[in-house]
Chain A
Amino acid sequence: MIPVEYYVGLSAILFLIGGIGFLVRRNVLVALMSIEVMLNATNLALVAFNRQHAQVHTGQVLSFFVIAVAAAEAAVGLAIVLSFFRLKRTVRSDEADLLRN
């Protein structure tokens, strides 16, 4: 049996990696993938805490909904990336300056 804290620590490390990637990288595709890394980390924490409180299934059901929202987010985000690419011919996020000034 592995303590739940190990899973939560791994989840924190993964969330950290995803957040740093989202902040540092300029490629919109990589930024979206970093968001997926962060969502996966939260799912891991939810399922690990649900393992500790095993009378109910709330954590697993919540992570199910997180996966559904992640699927919707990926579809809409990638559509926005395609539309942005058609406008600017690039996927660099600092080229998105139509609303500047």
Chain B
Amino acid sequence: MLNLLLLLDIVPGPANAATPVPETPQGPWMGFAYFGFCAVLAVVGAIATVASPNPIRGAMGLLLMIISIAGLFLALHAQFIAAIQVIVYAGAIVVLFLFVIMLLGSDAQTPSDQRGRIPRFGAAALFAGLGLAALTLLGRTMAKPKLPGDVGSDFGSIDSIGKVLFTDMLVPFEISSALLIVAVVGAIAVARGKHGELAEKGALNK
């Protein structure tokens, strides 16, 4: 696996810091193929997430998109963020979604509703138009693309990210821990409701 990643120019080789590895003949082609593979899977997963009527299929599409984006993070020399992406998103958030979908059972799938179609789809069309305008602007700059330069072998590693997190970003890091605590307490307080209400009404264990 590591050999494959080295071949794809995803992880820097051991001797990369001192002497740049000469580009293999199939190097750029393989990189583009890897990018295209991950990008197509990500777009397919995102479309499945928003378009499937069954929320379970939507969660599976979200999982596909998250894992392909983790693959793109690897290609961008962000190994730590790729690992965090798989652990937190695929391992925690998608599982949380699946728990809630299973808890709601068949009620999680709502029938399609025709009311308010025009404002909804009008807003979506406006948003799509803005996004296409942004993509057109991006396409103009793509005429002379900027190739990113070489990076050191420790770029994006746990080592260097940890150094930044615990020196420059120490205060935001500590505040994010407070945010997570508040979120956990708030989630329990909101989901639990009043004391005994859950057992009394039996809403969740019918």
Binding site for B on A (CB under 8 A): 1-10, 12-27, 29-30, 32-34, 36-37, 40, 43-44, 47-48, 50-52, 54, 56-58, 60-61, 63-65, 67-76, 78-83, 85-86, 89-92, 94
Contacts and interface: CB of A to CB of B under 8 A. Distances in A.
Interface of B: 9, 28, 31-32, 35, 39, 42-43, 46-47, 49-51, 55, 58-59, 62, 65-66, 69, 72-73, 75-78, 80-81, 84-85, 88-89, 92-93, 96-97, 100-101, 103-104, 107-110, 113, 115-116, 120-121, 123-124, 127-128, 131-132, 134-135, 138-139, 141-142, 145-149, 151-152, 155-156, 160-161, 164-165, 169, 172, 176, 179-180, 182-184, 186-188, 190-191, 193, 198, 201, 203-204
Given A7-B76, A23-B123, A92-B113, A40 B66 contact: yes
B85 A29 contact: no
Contacts of A78: 96-97, 100, 187, 191
A37 B84 contact: no
B176 A68 contact: yes
Nearest to A81: B100
A27 B51 CA distance: 11
Contact of A2 (B75, B108, B182, B191): B75
A24 B114 CA distance: 11
Report which residue of B9, B42, B78, B203 has the largest number of chain A beta carbons within 10 angstroms of its beta carbon: B78
B184 to A, nearest CB: 7
B69 to A, nearest CB: 5
Given A65-B172, A86-B201, A60 B161 contact: yes
Contact of B104 (A22, A51, A52, A91): A91
Counting from the closest, the 5 A-B pairs by CB-CB distance are: A21-B50, A3-B145, A72-B183, A16-B131, A79-B191
A12 B120 contact: no
A80 to B, nearest CB: 6
B50 A34 contact: yes
Contacts of A64: 80-81, 84, 161, 165
Contacts of B139: 9
